[in-house]
Structure 1
């Protein structure tokens, strides 16, 4: 549902339109009120307003000035002008600010609703165009290589994912079965280090095109650049490919290596795998290829190797790969994704229990990973980890703290809870302190500039954040608190001073006395003069 803001320095006009018009009948769910242009700006900072209806002549910021600022800062917000007959020519100037319409006062309810309904339809059409299938498809095609590479990154890193084939279809990767695959890893060697970064990117792109040219007749290719700066290609046989020649990929990869040397004047090393089941075998195949590059090829340039399933399985100590699967533990803690951390812990300890024999070093590896992540987060928040964990911190400073999986698991989940509670308390205390600072500034400057921007500037935060945090913590808007403080000050001035009502109104920031009178009457049930008469002897 849409949101509407009514702006007029005549309070009775604003209140009448807000209260008596059946806005819900045209799709308006929430109506906000402002009695000056500046107050309207504050409301726009706090709320997502779709349509603004504003009077054209107001003291201070006029309606034209208001819609000019709206056009600059909130271009999706639509504006409708209200003007008197004598202001018709003046209203024409508003057209340059993309005002949707202007209505003559006194406005008829049916005309007003019809105009708002038309503007809402226009707004809906604009958003429909933004999210239209045609535009999305165009944008998708424009960014297709990047989106494909990002999806392949997720697959290579073993991220939990479902419906891979559906995602690939959307990225135009699903025209072939992708039931089995081969993997080819290409490492750019030393002779590619000389050119500028821009030239290197161009050569990587050229290698991808060369691979497509060589393999594309028989295989569909899907490639990405990984975190090690290797070019990783997945290949699956096209349906029309005939025969089964297991050596063809190797021979063609060798041709690619030679062509890069001749035409790009660079050296590459290439690792080619056997076939695997898609997508389940992709992460393991990729990890084995990277390991083989490190252990068997090393720094030697222009090497070529086939990754055979039986020959290249490395026996020995088990690696806890799932401990380092993205997203990293430290990143989850930094984003305060507590449930995701718990799931990662469950995966880690389930992997320990379901695997081969676990050594003391494996327990240390997990412990050090968790402890370093905790320490980083605590220090980043300006706290000592010892203050957060209490007695549990002591175990971290005494040799080998855990000798069983169960003890390590219990410590991990218990300390996670302590860290979560400490950060939540820190956030709560920080917000409470912020509310106190906001209220103190308002209390001390009741007769000064109390715009949302001035309050935000005082606490050095963005106005939208200040508004949302204040509402979240107190249950009311900042404008409600400001209004209440102003009314308390007005009450005191009426009781203890002889100042005229219009002087008090100006002192409290009301540009017209009747706006002040309306606000005061709404709060106390009587006019300022009636209140003064009843509280002075």
Structure 2
């Protein structure tokens, strides 16, 4: 049992609550954060403040009974386990407790060993529920439900990659991980669809549903010969990656000695008119389609995507209810192809923006190098493409510069941010110098973000330490400290350990010990008064704590200091 759990001890008799709390505190192997309540209403107040893992409660109490409290626990924290204490060997109470989901019950006459065994048993049950196997099983189920979305996101990524940046090994691994219907070692026939005009059915809110219907109609009508996958891009466009069914070997011949690729391509082309008519009659949508003229390997998918977009957005593609294939019109000029490839980098601006916002320096620099690599720019359009990239970067960098006002103080060597220089490419002597300038800005932005993070962390730790010093005699539970400094208790515990190198409970114990030593050495207060002053409701527990830590009893320490 490695996890720390919160336990709430509830009874209307304070000596029972305090005694059980002392028992749990002495049983350090249980790793419990202990809370106390002297009535069901006080317990309910605690439960509304923070999550509890275990509630150890009297079954009969004035006002709200333990059974009534249990019903509220189930509503607030369904995973919380309840152990009932009862002085009544009454089967009807025990039966109702079990029916409502109680983990265990203990007669008050059974003693401390029975209480500890019940708590240990409950903690084992909690551990089992959090066990890796069950979490993995739930993760697998969640992944299964999310697979269609993840598959589409990966397809969009492949469509927007620069040519040559997709490795066969990666494709094989990702297709396997995402359980793709398509296969990585078989080429695709790419089909582009554009909704030319929207029907008035349902208004704008219905557009996603209508696009989904177009996807279903197209996939169903092409299903006899193809396996397909479609993704949405833009507001009114869809793209399909189609593969022929059957044997995966390339150029397999049909019975008519015709390559299967040719037969399937002819089938898809022939079905486009029916798909168009079906969308028009059933959905009241006018649609246009552009079909690739060749089967395309995955490595060149982004190139083919750009070719089809060019085909759809120029010449014969400008119109309504168009049916095009690459062989029906002039292919995209090589110069336009080069520009399209280069502009692939611009699609990574959003990724760069996200990395900058999230402080992901390593991924940012990797993407930045790709985006600013001018070696892929065709010479005749190099200057125009550099301008596109440069001003795209200005849009990425400007928000964090404005946000981090201190960035305006210094960039490097006393040089302040010059907004004229930042927003004008011609202010730089060369492309290399301009990119170096952005690199320095990125270093400062990441540095400021990291410094801001550290400053906030240390501010939180300072608040925690101050709260501990001021409330040594009070509630220093993780929950109470978290509420005091405005942070989730679990996160606060991790943060404290990360920043200080020691656990929060160790720091609390150290503060209590230091204060106890001071009071023992400088005052003549009785030991039980000092114990209460440093947060120990049980003097015997204070004795054990002090002796274990210093190897001296409190009295021995006092006598040693007063010699």
TM bracket (short chain): 0.7 to 0.9
Aligned residues: 509
Residues 54 and 141 (structure 1 numbering): CA distance in 2 closer, same or farther, change over 3 Å?
Answer: closer
C-alpha contact (below 8 Å) 2:469/2:511 kept by paired residues: yes
Where does 1:283-302 land on structure 2 (aligned, <5 Å)?
283-296=302-315, 300-302=319-321
C-alpha contact (below 8 Å) 1:12/1:518 kept by paired residues: no
| Equivalent in the alignment of 1:324 | 347
Residues 385 and 507 (structure 1 numbering): CA distance in 2 closer, same or farther, change over 3 Å?
Answer: same
Deviates more, 1:92-101 or 1:504-513: 92-101
Local SS of the residue matching 1:276? coil
| Equivalent in the alignment of 1:468 | 494
| Equivalent in the alignment of 1:213 | 220
Residues 342 and 101 (structure 1 numbering): CA distance in 2 closer, same or farther, change over 3 Å?
Answer: farther
Q: Distance in 2 between matches of 1:16 and 1:2?
A: 17
C-alpha contact (below 8 Å) 2:184/2:298 kept by paired residues: no
Residues 495 and 111 (structure 1 numbering): CA distance in 2 closer, same or farther, change over 3 Å?
Answer: closer
Structure 1 residue 204 and structure 2 residue 207: aligned? no
Q: Distance in 2 between matches of 1:399 and 1:36?
A: 63
Residues 79 and 345 (structure 1 numbering): CA distance in 2 closer, same or farther, change over 3 Å?
Answer: same
Query: TM-score, with normalisation over the residues of structure 1?
Result: 0.76
| Equivalent in the alignment of 1:233 | 240
For residue 148 of structure 1, report the CA deviation from its aligned partner: 3.3
Residues 9 and 36 (structure 1 numbering): CA distance in 2 closer, same or farther, change over 3 Å?
Answer: farther
Where does 1:64-103 land on structure 2 (aligned, <5 Å)?
95=98, 96=100, 98-99=102-103
Q: Distance in 1 between matches of 2:486 and 2:139?
A: 38
| Equivalent in the alignment of 1:433 | 459
Q: Name stretches of at least 5 consecutive residues in structure 2 with no aligned partner.
A: 8-17, 38-50, 60-65, 248-252
For residue 333 of structure 1, report the CA deviation from its aligned partner: 1.1
Correspondent of 2:275 among 256, 271, 284? 256
| Equivalent in the alignment of 2:415 | 391
Structure 1 residue 157 and structure 2 residue 160: aligned? yes
Residues 525 and 454 (structure 1 numbering): CA distance in 2 closer, same or farther, change over 3 Å?
Answer: same
For residue 170 of structure 1, report the CA deviation from its aligned partner: 5.8
| Equivalent in the alignment of 1:189 | 196
Structure 1 residue 356 and structure 2 residue 361: aligned? no
Structure 1 residue 378 and structure 2 residue 401: aligned? yes
For residue 376 of structure 1, report the CA deviation from its aligned partner: 1.4
| Equivalent in the alignment of 1:315 | 335
Of the two structures, which has the highest relative contact order with CA contacts closer than 8 Å and spacing of 6 or more?
1
Residues 6 and 368 (structure 1 numbering): CA distance in 2 closer, same or farther, change over 3 Å?
Answer: closer
Structure 1 residue 279 and structure 2 residue 301: aligned? no
Query: TM-score, with normalisation over the residues of structure 2?
Result: 0.73
Q: Distance in 1 between matches of 2:545 and 2:377?
A: 71
Residues 399 and 261 (structure 1 numbering): CA distance in 2 closer, same or farther, change over 3 Å?
Answer: closer
For residue 256 of structure 1, report the CA deviation from its aligned partner: 0.9
Q: Distance in 2 between matches of 1:129 and 1:6?
A: 22
For residue 298 of structure 1, report the CA deviation from its aligned partner: 7.4
For residue 279 of structure 1, report the CA deviation from its aligned partner: 0.7
| Equivalent in the alignment of 2:479 | 453
| Equivalent in the alignment of 1:146 | 149
For residue 382 of structure 1, report the CA deviation from its aligned partner: 5.0
Residues 508 and 64 (structure 1 numbering): CA distance in 2 closer, same or farther, change over 3 Å?
Answer: farther
Local SS of the residue matching 1:325? helix
Residues 530 and 86 (structure 1 numbering): CA distance in 2 closer, same or farther, change over 3 Å?
Answer: farther
Residues 5 and 79 (structure 1 numbering): CA distance in 2 closer, same or farther, change over 3 Å?
Answer: farther
C-alpha contact (below 8 Å) 1:323/1:348 kept by paired residues: yes
- Once the two structures are superposed, what CA deviation does each residue of 1:334-372 show, in whole Å capped at 9, x if it has no partner? 1211111121133234x4125432633433333333333
For residue 34 of structure 1, report the CA deviation from its aligned partner: 5.2
Q: Distance in 1 between matches of 2:391 and 2:322?
A: 37
Q: Distance in 2 between matches of 1:305 and 1:417?
A: 48
Correspondent of 1:480 among 506, 522, 547? 506
Local SS of the residue matching 2:467? helix
C-alpha contact (below 8 Å) 1:224/1:233 kept by paired residues: yes
| Equivalent in the alignment of 1:32 | 31
| Equivalent in the alignment of 1:369 | 392
